[in-house]
Structure 1
Amino acid sequence: MTIFVETSQFNQMISHRPYAESKNQKKKVKYMLLDSIKEKIGDRWILFKEGTRQAFDMICFFSAELGFFYAGAQYLADRHSISDRTIRNRFKELEELGQVVKLHRRSKRCNGKGKPVYLFVNHPYFTYWVHLLGLNIEDFHTDFHTENAETSCNSKEEATKKVSTYSLPLKQESNIYISDNHIMQAIYNRVNDAIKDGTTIKFLSSYVDRIFRSLEKQAIYAENIRLVAKKKQHEKEAYEFFYKPKEVPFYNWLEEPAEGKSG
């Protein structure tokens, strides 16, 4: 399904008050968006070419103020000495990872698809753009995965996946960091408990695997709690910025002394 942004809507978007105005605010939002991308991509991030990583950095910089970017693939490819096909593939991956929503400006020539516009899902303005443009994210998500199913092989995991792209999925295993000391201490405690119970330990590796899986689940749960809280905070900030009524100070004009008269 193609989602169009009308010219009047696009003009309203680009002229809107920026969420991040100061240099420090822009830097903070840029790294928030970039860190989210790195988390989703995982260990493959270090395998990307330097130009690809710089392109990601640039689109996050472009999106810091308003939460979207519309720089063309060819522009980014020329700027960072990589192919435009690489840029398009990386943009498509951002969609699949639930980091951006792809829209299209309406072409003036044929009333069809014009240049794409990408909304960052994790930006505080995302909820505002959804309301402004009247987007139905669930319908878009369903159509996106139907299109992918027709052009790629369906794995068992993809066939059973029913969680919306724009909810917060579990982090990939490769992104979970658990200190070696934590693991060794947990193994030591489990082995000691087994010895006290009179259990004969035949395969230490089974204890290591079991404990690592347990610690990994704890880390995944804690990370999801953090991401949910972070998303709620962004939505709260966006709501307060746009919808919360501003307090108007009360002033009693009857108590104002008349001009030329002493109190």
Structure 2
Amino acid sequence: MADKGPIGVFDSGYGGLTVLKEIVAQLPAYDYIYLGDNARAPYGTRSFETVYQYTLQCVEWFFRQGCHLVILACNTASAKALRSIQQNDLQQLAPGKRVLGVIRPTSERIGEYTRSGSVGVLGTKGTVQSGSYVIEIEKFHPAVKVYQEACPMWVPLVENNEYETEGADYFIQKHLQNLFAQSEEIDTVLLACTHYPLLRSKIEAHLPQGKQLLSQGEIVAASLQDYLQRHPEIESNCTKGGKASFYTTDSTEDFDNHASRFYGKQVRSEHVNL
């Protein structure tokens, strides 16, 4: 039998730490290993082929660390790379291992939140252009209408620690206005980027009254818990020591300085070359 290993959590940068934070809160017994491909971030503006190649390299790295399950806690990677990896690469790389994303579990649940049947999706340009949320939500909730708005300045605002400034207010107000100009029936707004929870208080301040805001972390964590219960063959290969390790492809000093804002506490990372 193959050696057991931690659960891998991947993002192009820091944003996936907001998802890992919720996963650890709900499933604290497991070991986790986080990789941020900061040296090549952001992924949101890159082509499908480039995102696929980068993500595949990172998945292969996780497998070499002994991971049997890898979560792509990155909407862009989930939109542009996950399906190709699942359908074309896993069988050759490691047929007994699994790679999951954040778009499907969020799409499965979002219909439970909307009353009007109209949902707004705020994401990066890459996620919006992929149409992944429109496609996936239609599979699970065909009656729900989905409206999208790309917010290209939001990730730079967060990563440059400008997310509490008046400049952030301007860009948040602009994109919310663009979203609701598409339909006033939207009653549920999804933050379809793992960076966006850091902007949550400002987004809520500009959100029209009576609208609800969803971030992905809690939904993805609950989905992972359900997945592990339904797949004991994967769960049994996940080690349980309550430990989280952090890696980055860029400066560990920069990663550690930024990571605490996303993860909620200090981390100490190690550098890795891919």
Tell me if TM exceeds 0.5. Answer: no
* TM-score normalised to structure 2 length: 0.25
**TM-score (normalised: structure 1):** 0.26
Higher strand fraction: Structure 1 or Structure 2?
2
Higher RCO, 1 vs 2 (CA within 8 Å, ≥6 residues apart): 2
Rg larger in structure: 1
* Higher helix content, 1 or 2: 1
